[in-house]
Amino acid sequence: MKHCHLSLCCNEIVFLKYKLPFLYKLFDQIIFVDYDILKNAHSCDGSIEYIRKFPDPENKILLLIDFENVRHKIKTFSGKDIEDYQKMFAYGSKYVANDIDIMWSTDMDEFFDITLFRKTEEEFKNDNELTTIDCCWKTFIYNQYNILDEKERENGFYPPRITKHSIGKIYGHCNWREYGKILTLKEDFIYHFSYIGLERCRNKLILYNTRTTSKHLQDNWCDFYMNNIKQGKKYVNFVHPGSLKKCIPYDGDYPMDINIDNMINEMNGIVSS
């Protein structure tokens, strides 16, 4: 079976450096739509240059950087959250190859194991009516040792990231639960390094507070983040700035093939001794 991965990409060079080599080993097509919604610009942190220079002997990678020029022409789009996100998904959808069987859409800060990749193929082969695969999430805040308390997880709170492809389908943003029969894999996870990296968090909160109706904690939350980094704290008394749900300490598993310690240290500007 052939897999395509579609990501919206914006100034997340650290995640990109760890994620693209992993994606390249597994996927037949990789599509990036690069656009900074907050500033109406492209990534300026080296993301575009990294993607362009990445070895691509199999011609798998497609980088779209002209969204600003076409956004006003996009009339068919769907999903949740910010309209530009929905339009970016619709734009990327137009380039999915016809021979793709399975579509993925994890964000740049979302990682998974190769075991989940293989299991999706098995499940789709075993059930012709299956449309979308869901799985549990582990949502990290501040670093890899603080996680959103999964006991407070609401059913359907997290959007599925895996679905069966059909030719010409225009995919929506975070609405794949609507596509048909869903299977939830309770033993497999999306590892979401959600609010990690101080400046990234600050920009993310500004975006949500100015472009959505929901309100997130901002200045005090970021100040608390900075002070904990300065003190070298491992476990912190954080809440998720959007849901306000508490975090708990985490010492469990992480995705294979990713050096989590190095990645998080880079995100938080920590230099290893």
Sign of CA dihedral 41, 7, 265, 159: positive
Q: What is the mean pLDDT of the chain?
A: 93
- What share of the chain has pLDDT > 70, as a percent? 96
Q: Write out pLDDT tens, residues 168-185.
A: 999 999 999 999 999 999
**CATH 3.30.70: does it fit domain 3-137+154-189?**
no
Note the pLDDT of residue 102: 98
**Looking up tokens 């998080």, which residue turns up?**
264
Q: Write out pLDDT tens, residues 49-103.
A: 999 999 999 999 999 999 999 999 999 999 988 999 999 999 999 999 999 999 9
pTM of the model: 0.94
- Could you tell me the two tokens for 141? 């805040």
Quote the DSSP letter at residue 144. T
Look at strands 110-111 and 3-9 and give their pairing: unpaired
Quote the DSSP letter at residue 166. -
- pLDDT per 10-residue tile (average), the chain, 273 residues: 96 96 98 94 96 98 97 95 95 98 97 96 97 94 92 64 97 96 93 95 91 84 96 94 91 92 94 55
